[in-house]
């Protein structure tokens, strides 16, 4: 009997176990929510010490990124992420983990072509397309302004 790619596709789908989605989603919710809760706590703490909202936001990001880099270096972030999935991927700590993990690993290939170039392998697309999207938005704003005759 001849096995066609279409028939085989059905077979593989039948045998592939599905992710335990309800467990994964619950973990993502709890741990992701937990990290945001920590962020909220830090925001309030900085505001309590008299920083304005924007400054408090920046310091919160810096602290969270620091904690993520530390956890990544100690090998803990990956262990939490195994269960948390998107819960550790989506917060800014996930972005920091994406920067730190290739940097640590590329150390054996030297500082310039190792760490220097590999540090952006995962975070690069995020920065690139985030910036590009914001520029598109900025262009729209600016064109509208010109048409409205503000300038």
Partner 1 sequence: MLEYLWAFIIGGAICAVGQVLIDYTKLTPARILTGFVVAGVLLSALGLYKPLIELAGGGATVPLTGFGHLLAEGIRKAVDEKGWLGVFSGGLTASSAGITAAVLFGLAAAAVFKPKDK
Partner 2 sequence: MVKSLGRGMFHMEQSIYIASCAAIAGKKEGEGPMGQCFDRVEMDSHFGQETWEKAESRMQQETIYTALQKASLTADDVDIILAGDLINQCTSSTYSLRPFGVPFLGLFGACSTMAEGLITASLILSSGAGKRCVAATSSHFSTAERQFRFPLSYGGQRPPTAQWTCTASGAVVLDTETEGSPAISGVCIGKITDLGVTDANNMGAAMAPAAADTLTRWFKGTCRTPNDYDAIVTGDLGMIGGKLFMELMMKQGYEINPCYHDCGAMMFDSLTQDTHAGGSGCGCGGSILCGHFLPLVKSGSIKRMLFMATGALMSPMLVQQGESIPSIAHLVEIVSGKEND
The residues that touch partner 2, with contacts defined as CB under 8 A, are 1, 3-5, 8-9, 11-12, 15-19, 24, 72-73, 75, 77-78, 80-82, 84-85, 88-89, 94, 97-98, 100-102, 104-106, 108, 122
Q: Is 18 helix (H, G, I), strand (E, B) or coil?
A: coil
Q: What are phi and psi of 12, to 5 degrees?
A: -65, -35
49 binds partner 1 (CB under 8 A): no
Residue the block writes with tokens 């910036």: 131
Task: Compute the distance between CA of residue 146 and CA of residue 148 in angstroms, rounded to an integer.
Answer: 5
- Closest-CA residue to 63 (of 28, 38, 81, 37): 38
Residue 141 interacting partner from partner 1, partner 2, none (CB closer than 5 to 8 Å by kind): partner 1
Q: Give residues 119-148 in contact with partner 1 (rule: CB under 8 A).
A: 119, 122-123, 125-127, 129-131, 133-135, 137-142, 145
């Amino acid at each position: 009997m001849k096995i066609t790619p279409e028939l085989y596709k059905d077979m593989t789908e039948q045998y592939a176990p599905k992710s335990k989605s309800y467990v994964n989603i619950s973990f993502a919710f709890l741990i992701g929510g937990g990290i945001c809760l920590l962020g909220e706590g830090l925001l309030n703490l900085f505001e309590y010490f008299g920083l304005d909202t924007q400054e408090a936001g920046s310091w919160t990001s810096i602290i969270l990124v620091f904690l993520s880099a530390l956890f990544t270096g100690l090998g803990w972030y990956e262990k939490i992420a195994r269960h948390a999935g998107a819960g550790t991927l989506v917060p800014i700590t996930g972005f920091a983990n994406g920067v730190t993990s290739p940097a640590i690993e590329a150390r054996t290939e030297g500082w310039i072509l190792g760490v220097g170039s590999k540090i952006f392998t995962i975070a690069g697309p995020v920065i690139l397309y985030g910036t590009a999207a914001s520029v598109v938005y900025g262009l729209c704003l600016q064109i509208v302004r010109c048409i409205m005759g503000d300038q």
